[in-house]
Amino acid sequence: MRTNLSKLALMASFVLAMSFNSAYAQGVYFDIGLGYGSATTKLDGHDVSDGTPSDINEIGVDFGLKVGYGPFPAPVPVYVVGVLGGIGHRFYKDSDYVQFNSYLFGPGVIVYPVDILQLGFAIGTSWVANQTSDPIKMYDSDGGHAWELSAAVDLGGESHACLLGIKYFSATNTLKTSKVEQESSAVSIFVKYAFRTK
């Protein structure tokens, strides 16, 4: 009788352990993608767009890469990630252009309040790498900070998914030599591939 009870208790413990493990199965999180939207660049508080002629075109683009681990046990699934992202704000006419690029590297968190909705936040260090078609040197930065906030629809199964979402990005940097403060921000629509354990 005691032997049967011990076997039953052992079996129940195994089933409970397996159930807990399946409910909180963890693994690598990875996503990568591109976005398109509206960007703003300010130099010492002055919006660069305000001083450009009407025949100059503008475009805002963003990219993002996240690598992490999860989900961790919580009221909702939580992933902890490292984030590398950035935005580009290009002013152009024909083949001539000036592009303001701001980047973010830092920690982030992803949560799923419901199964198909992903919310993300990241904050970290920032730098710029501005570009131009003109034969002049563009200043790099002495350093700065940036953050981003995103929401996406997760269209996928247990491992692979397509993320369709919207993101707000903001960065502030001090340029080298000139000491001008560059503030960059963007609102973009993005598409990403994601690999994650749900």
pLDDT tens digits for range 25-75: 789 999 999 999 999 999 999 999 998 898 999 999 999 999 999 999 889
Alpha-carbon 3 to chain mean position: 55
**Digit-coded pLDDT (tens) for 122-181:** 999 999 999 999 888 777 888 899 999 999 999 988 899 999 999 999 999 999 988 999
Considering the domain 26-195, what is its CATH architecture?
Answer: Beta Barrel (2.40)
Question: Where in the chain are the domains?
Answer: 26-195
Between CA 52 and CA 57, with CA 53 as vertex, the angle to 5 degrees is 80
- Cβ contact 106:127 at 8 Å: no
